[in-house]
Amino acid sequence: MEERVYNFSAGPAMIAESVLKKAADELVCYPGRGMSVMEMSHRSSMYIEIFDRTKALLKELMNVPDDYEILFLQGGATLQFSAVPLNLLTTGKADYVDSGNFAHLAAEEARKYADVHIAASSREDTYTYVPDTFDWRPDADYAYITTNNTIYGTRYTAIPDTGKVPLVADMSSNILSEPFDVTKFGVIFAGAQKNIGPAGLCIVIVRRDLMGHEDPKCPKLMSWALESKNDSMLNTPNTYGIYMAGLGFEWLRDLGGVNAIYEQNKYKAGLLYDYLDQSTLFKAPARRDCRSLMNVTFVTGDADKDAAFVKYAAKNGLVNLKGHRSVGGMRASIYNAMPVEGVKKLVEVMKAFEKENA
């Protein structure tokens, strides 16, 4: 078997090797069922068993209260940029924090349906920090944040208080990486391809009282109430993606759950930031008080040298370190499945490159 590299991709991202091996073992024939999960009818009792177990595992890992629904949907997190206003608007007002690329895109999409007010923004400062003061409207239908900025490497270290206005959070790039109090949110959603499993699945956690008020023009596949009524099976769901998510949830539970992985994530990020802070070659642009634990961005200040480092790292088994095309530089995405050893090797390779290019 070919040796695996350390994959620092921002998503689709690294999946725990034990999860991949279990999926491989069960690919052709799921134990006791005589067929692959991919061949099972989503209405069959054998698949419903997998679905229910996956849902229960997520509920356990995130301590989701009974008055919240968990949906397994398609269309990725981006489809929820439209689904959020279509499901939540009543007066037509929505507040957004523009703290990064995906937060900005979500606000732009919502403008098609809502009177969007930008309650805070770090756009003019190249998204190097997450705002900590907000101009919330008390009569908005909802307030919207993106908890982790994948491209620029920042995150909320404290969740803002929006009072009686429901808070909506796109947690695509840091769900399950640290503890979150679900009761602080009206809606949480996340694409699967960073901390959960393969691309193609979107998880939506929504407080039940917020469902059933959707715009009459809301497409039925974007209606949380209809999806809830049909247990995420208004149409054929991403059956294999849900199964893979379940394997990932089992892996995380067996590690000790979200609290345990949070400690590991802080340690991994600390290794990298500690090196960056003393390096004379590499610099971390994100403001220290809101640095991401999942996406560590860094630069040399020289585009040619950045490109040279990316190639150098790849030769040493460290791949997908090139920064997003909109900002350049480098980005190490160190999601839950990235082992400590991968980060340690990255630091070693950076030190070697710095020594050669001082």
Q: Which one, of 355, 284, 68, 286, lies nearest residue 183 by Cα?
A: 68
Q: Specify the pTM.
A: 0.97
Angle 251-254-256 from CA coordinates, rounded to 5°: 115
Rounded CA separation 163/84 (Å): 19
Contact 162, 139 (CB under 8 A): no
Rounded CA separation 289/6 (Å): 28
Output the furthest CA–CA distance in the chain (Å, rounded): 63
Q: Which two tokens stand for residue 183?
A: 């009761």
Q: Which two tokens stand for residue 8?
A: 């620092």
Contact 150, 172 (CB under 8 A): yes
CB 75: neighbour CB atoms within 10 A? Answer: 17
* 38 Cβ neighbours under 8 A, 6+ residues apart: 239, 240
Contact 119, 138 (CB under 8 A): no
Angle 179-126-298 from CA coordinates, rounded to 5°: 70
Q: Which one, of 102, 99, 135, 100, lies nearest residue 117 by Cα?
A: 135
H or E segment at 320?
none
Rounded CA separation 262/268 (Å): 10
Q: What is the CA radius of gyration of the chain?
A: 21
Q: What SS3 state is found at 73?
A: strand
Residue 282 zone, left/alpha/beta (φ > 0; ψ -120 to 50; rest): beta
Backbone angles phi, psi at 349, to 5 degrees: -70, -40
* Per-residue confidence in pLDDT tens, the chain, 358 aa: 678 999 999 999 999 999 999 999 999 999 999 999 999 999 999 999 999 999 999 999 999 999 999 999 999 999 999 999 999 999 999 999 999 999 999 999 999 999 999 999 999 999 999 999 999 999 999 999 999 999 999 999 999 999 999 999 999 999 999 999 999 999 999 999 999 999 999 999 999 999 999 999 999 999 999 999 999 999 999 999 999 999 999 999 999 999 999 999 999 999 999 999 999 999 999 999 999 999 999 999 999 999 999 999 999 999 999 998 878 899 999 999 999 999 999 999 999 999 999 7
Contact 101, 127 (CB under 8 A): yes
Which DSSP symbol is given to 71?
E
Length of the chain: 358
Q: What are the start-end ranges of the H helices in the chain? A: 17-26, 45-62, 76-88, 101-110, 224-229, 239-255, 257-278, 303-315, 340-356
